[in-house]
């Protein structure tokens, strides 16, 4: 194996949240490896450039990683930092996730100027969200609300709320907390109210599969609990086709010596929801994800998925 480098470049998206996340990884790496100097390479991704389009229509989660992977391929960067919920379940050939970091709060957060939670919103109120997963779950529990797409970085979304374009917005709690904006959160949505996305709150550190010395640098940042939970969650998505165009949620937790996994597939209007829950061996997270996906299919997920494709 090659000797560990003394300087590395970390590819990242340009958004304030992405820069915070990459800066966090940079600081951790420099603290762990004496003499190592890390630099950030901010890049604009296709997903950022299409901020006005719905993610599912624009081409999916890969839009946020392709430019970063290109920087790895042509040696402009050695590592890339991603939000794991934005990483496709099938990585491009020749790449690997070297580490999944300790997870920040995986819940969704309710943000509003005048209301405490979703239940306090008057019928007909407009709620903004960036994901079909949230849209479906909000519609299922609060059919009187109007859910509209909301894209852009966190600051852009908050500005749209402040301009009165929405009565409330729902964002990932992790991003708000990382940017020091936890004070904007009026309430948290429990997993029972809105099940999180696979990988939500966890960071993934990617490198070329052939760069063993780079993977070894990142390995100490890995968190064992986050790793098994995210792997189980992502396997549900993989087993159901790996698409970001379906309202799918999956959330795993370590409970004692077991891994508990909850998942759902829904129609975008929330009128049909297939739910499943299973527990299994933390040493076999993918097997638990496969079993949970089978339960979802038995409970109607196949019919929902077929209708979405028609």
Distance of alpha carbon 170 from alpha carbon 132, whole angstroms: 12
Distance of alpha carbon 298 from alpha carbon 250, whole angstroms: 16
Q: Strand pairing of 258-266 and 273-280?
A: antiparallel
The answer to whether 243 touches 62, Cβ cutoff 8 Å, is no
pLDDT in the model for residue 110: 98
pLDDT in the model for residue 58: 45
pLDDT in the model for residue 309: 81
pLDDT in the model for residue 53: 47
Tell me: do 95 and 205 sit in the same domain: yes
- Domain assignment present for residue 194? The answer is no
CA distances from 194 to 18, 75, 266, 272 (A): 24, 40, 12, 15
pLDDT in the model for residue 308: 85
45's tokens: 């991704």
Containing structural domain, residue 212 = 7-103+201-222
Tell me: do 291 and 174 sit in the same domain: no
Distance of alpha carbon 261 from alpha carbon 278, whole angstroms: 5
Tell me: do 122 and 248 sit in the same domain: no
The pTM (predicted TM-score) of the whole model is 0.92
pLDDT in the model for residue 48: 55
Tell me: do 98 and 136 sit in the same domain: no
pLDDT in the model for residue 51: 52
The 10s digit of each residue's pLDDT in 11-63 is 999 999 999 999 999 999 999 999 999 999 999 876 555 555 455 544 455 67
Give me the CATH number covering residue 20. Answer: 3.40.190.10
Tell me: do 91 and 124 sit in the same domain: no
Tell me: do 206 and 99 sit in the same domain: yes
86 labelled catalytic: yes
Q: How many CB atoms lie within 10 A of CB 294?
A: 16
Point out which residues pair with 9 in neighbouring strands: 39
Distance of alpha carbon 79 from alpha carbon 69, whole angstroms: 9
CA distances from 120 to 30, 145, 158, 161 (A): 46, 11, 19, 17
pLDDT in the model for residue 251: 98
The tally of domains found in the chain comes to 3
- The list of the chain residues with pLDDT below 70 reads 1-4, 46-62
Give me the CATH number covering residue 246. Answer: 3.30.160.40
Point out which residues pair with 7 in neighbouring strands: 37
Assign 3-class secondary structure to 228-265.
HHHHHHHHHHHHCCCCCCCCEEEEEEEECCEEEEEEEE
Token match 């209007």: residue?
Answer: 269
Active-site residue, selected from the candidate residues 48, 74, 86, 281: 86
């Amino acid at each position: 194996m090659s000797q560990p480098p003394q300087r590395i470049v970390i590819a990242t998206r340009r958004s304030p949240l992405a820069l915070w996340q990459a800066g966090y990884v940079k600081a951790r790496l420099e603290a762990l490896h004496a003499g190592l100097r890390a630099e950030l390479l901010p890049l604009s991704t296709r997903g950022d450039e299409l901020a006005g389009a719905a993610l599912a229509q624009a081409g999916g989660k890969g839009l946020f990683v392709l430019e970063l992977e290109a920087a790895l391929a042509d040696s402009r960067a050695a590592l890339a930092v991603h939000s794991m919920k934005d990483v496709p379940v099938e990585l491009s050939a020749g790449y690997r996730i070297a580490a999944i970091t300790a997870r920040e709060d995986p819940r969704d957060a309710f943000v509003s100027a005048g209301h405490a939670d979703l239940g306090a919103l008057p019928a007909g109120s407009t709620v903004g969200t960036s994901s079909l997963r949230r849209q479906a779950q909000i519609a299922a529990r609060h059919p009187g609300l109007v859910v509209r797409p909301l894209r852009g970085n966190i600051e852009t979304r908050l500005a749209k709320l402040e301009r009165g374009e929405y009565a409330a917005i729902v964002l990932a709690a992790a991003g708000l907390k990382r940017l020091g904006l936890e004070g904007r959160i009026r309430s948290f949505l429990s997993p029972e109210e809105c099940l999180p996305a696979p990988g939500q709150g966890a960071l993934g550190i990617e490198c070329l599969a052939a760069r063993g010395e780079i993977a070894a640098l990142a390995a100490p940042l890995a968190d064992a609990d986050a790793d098994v939970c995210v792997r189980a969650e992502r396997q549900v998505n993989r087993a159901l086709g790996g698409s970001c165009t379906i309202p799918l949620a999956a959330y795993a937790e370590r409970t004692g010596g077991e891994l508990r996994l909850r998942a759902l597939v829904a129609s975008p209007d929330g009128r049909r929801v297939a739910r499943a829950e299973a527990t299994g061996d933390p040493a076999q997270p993918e097997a638990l994800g496969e079993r949970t996906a089978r339960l979802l299919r038995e409970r109607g997920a196949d019919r929902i998925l077929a209708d979405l494709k028609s």
